[in-house]
Amino acid sequence: MADTNTRISTIVGENDVVLFMKGTPLFPQCGFSSRAIAILDHCGVAYESVDVLQDMEVRQGIKTYSDWPTIPQLYVKGEFLGGSDIMMEMFEAGELQQLLDEKGVAKAES
């Protein structure tokens, strides 16, 4: 369990924007993950994704790590931001774009 926590904190620490999701950005396996990807793509930022369906330890461990019961989960610069509902609320209010901007997150290469 401690190892899983270390692995997760390494992933979160090494990537400015990382989404723990079900499936991959091209093939999301759940509507909530799909929505999270759509929001990130709209924001035009570069992000890393982790498919929890490929890793049972991370799938359980991430819920403990964040004290958050569901996936997807978005981390920006090491900070847990929330799931797809929070992403949508922030996106609609323009807060997500603003936060990504303020944090100096790199844009996706187009």
Partner 1 sequence: MPMSGPDIEAAIVAALPGAVVELTDLAGDDDHWAAKVTAPQFAGKPRVAQHKMVYAALGGKMGGELHALQVTTVVPT
| 14 lies in the site for partner 1, by CB under 8 A | no
Cα 95 from Cα 13, distance rounded (Å): 22
Q: To the nearest whole angstrom, how small is the minimum distance from the Cβ of residue 109 to partner 1?
A: 30
| 94 lies in the site for partner 1, by CB under 8 A | no
* 99-108: long-range contacts, CB 8 A cutoff, minimum separation 24: 100/17, 100/43, 100/45, 100/76, 103/16, 103/76, 103/77, 105/16, 105/17, 105/45, 105/46, 105/76, 105/77, 106/16, 106/45, 106/46, 107/44, 107/45, 107/46, 108/41, 108/44, 108/45, 108/46, 108/47
Q: Which CB sits closer to partner 1, 23 or 82? A: 82
Q: To the nearest whole angstrom, how small is the minimum distance from the Cβ of residue 24 to partner 1?
A: 20
Q: Is 30 annotated as a binding residue?
A: yes
Q: Which CB sits closer to partner 1, 46 or 89? A: 89
- Name which of residues 56 to 85 contact partner 1 (CB under 8 A): 63, 67-70, 80-83, 85
> Can you say which residues are annotated as belonging to the binding site for [2Fe-2S] cluster?
30
Please give the residue ranges that form the binding site for partner 1 (CB under 8 A): 63, 67-70, 80-83, 85-86, 89-90
